[in-house]
Amino acid sequence: MSNTETTGPDLTHLGIPEAESETETHIGLTETYAAHNYHPLRVVLAKGEGAWVTDVEGRRYLDCLAGYSALNFGHSHPRLVARAHAQLDNLTLTSRAFYNDQLGPFAKALAELTAKDMILPMNSGAEAVETAIKVSRRWGYSVKGVPENRAHIVVMEGNFHGRTTTIVSFSNDPDATQGYAPYTPGFTMVKYGDLDALESAINEHTVAVLLEPIQGEGGVVIPPDGFLRQVRELCSARDILMVADEIQSGLARTGKTFACDHEGVVPDIYILGKALGGGLYPVSAIAADTRVLGVITPGSHGSTFGGNPLAAAIGHEVVQMLQTGEFQERATVLGERLTAGLEALVGHGFDAVRSRGLWAGIDIDPSLGTGRQVTEALLADGVLAKEAHGQTVRLAPPIVASEDDIDLLVGAFEKICRG
């Protein structure tokens, strides 16, 4: 029996009609037994290789979301899979109660890639952001001399740093914040890209400015030219840590190793994740100099899985792949091709296109439809993408995509715009 003829198990006792296809079976199971914290497109993926994925019915799709940039190197990259397999045969977890033979080499390589003295490994991106917040506050108390319980951090409107209770406390997205009060104090939010607002928000107890060099979740929102340099200068002048969340923007996505590199800016703390795990495993970290990360002492922060041998082995391989510059250059070249194709559609279904490297946000003309409707139309044409905030579609194809893949993506949009 072919995939398209496959029927699933009888779920009528759960109140689910008999499935007509394997796709409907899996969607029914997920909707019944998993909390509804996402609204996925109606496709059930089963396999992936490079920039392409295959669903349970055997249909292939070009993945132009790449796990929100977690899959910069594509699905099942041979180098990463081989490294993971090799480590699986040896050792996967020790806890940090003991040393392991993978963490040291990974830490050294990542410290060198970021030009920082040391790293602190975690698992998810949100954990890394929480770690950066904790380190910033502890640095403020023990180094800067801020009075206890007064540490203050400035953040940006439109941010997305994760969904923990502390992080949503400084979000202005109602979907992320509603119903989770009381909120964690100690944060002031200012308009993204507004240096005057930022400067006005800083006070004697400010320990850090936390920002994304490019706001991914907001629809690939790029700050005004020079803003990152101005933030760097302001933080240096006021003895404040500049903390850059490069979880989505970093590791070659924008054509540079870090998005901050586009302005020649080096933050005090890098926050990294997503692509650091190669799309195989959750790996995150912060990187900083000893004057900052030296405030962490035994017992003051930790994670059972952070820095485990499997994560460290995969992360080390990712760093080695980035050291050649191959992926950064490829993101630049493919990004130029993608941008040229998309910008030709402005005024013909698109209101605006924002892009940097192989990362783009497209504002859809309402007469064409909503962002969700456009992603559904793309799905029907074999392309996977994601809407953001109603009228925006965001794209982040794997950097291993081909020129033909990029042309196919642009062609799918052209077809939609033609109606």
DSSP sequence for 206-230: EEEEEE-SSBTTTTSBPPPTTHHHH
Catalytic choice (55, 245, 268, 363): 245
Burial of 314 (0-12, 13-18, 19+ CB in 10 A): buried
Among residues 169, 138, 134, 143, which one has the least CA distance to residue 302? Answer: 134
350 is catalytic: no
Half-sphere exposure of 72 (CA within 13 A, CB side): 32
Catalytic choice (55, 73, 116, 160): 160
d(CA 100, CA 329) in angstroms, rounded, equals 34
Burial of 214 (0-12, 13-18, 19+ CB in 10 A): buried
d(CA 230, CA 419) in angstroms, rounded, equals 44
Catalytic choice (116, 256, 274, 386): 274
Look up residue 243 and give its amino acid.
Answer: V
274 is catalytic: yes
245 is catalytic: yes
Show Cβ contacts of residue 413 under 8 Å, excluding neighbours closer than 6 positions. Answer: 341, 342, 345, 349, 350, 362, 378
**130 token code pair:** 């929480």
Catalytic residues: 160, 245, 274
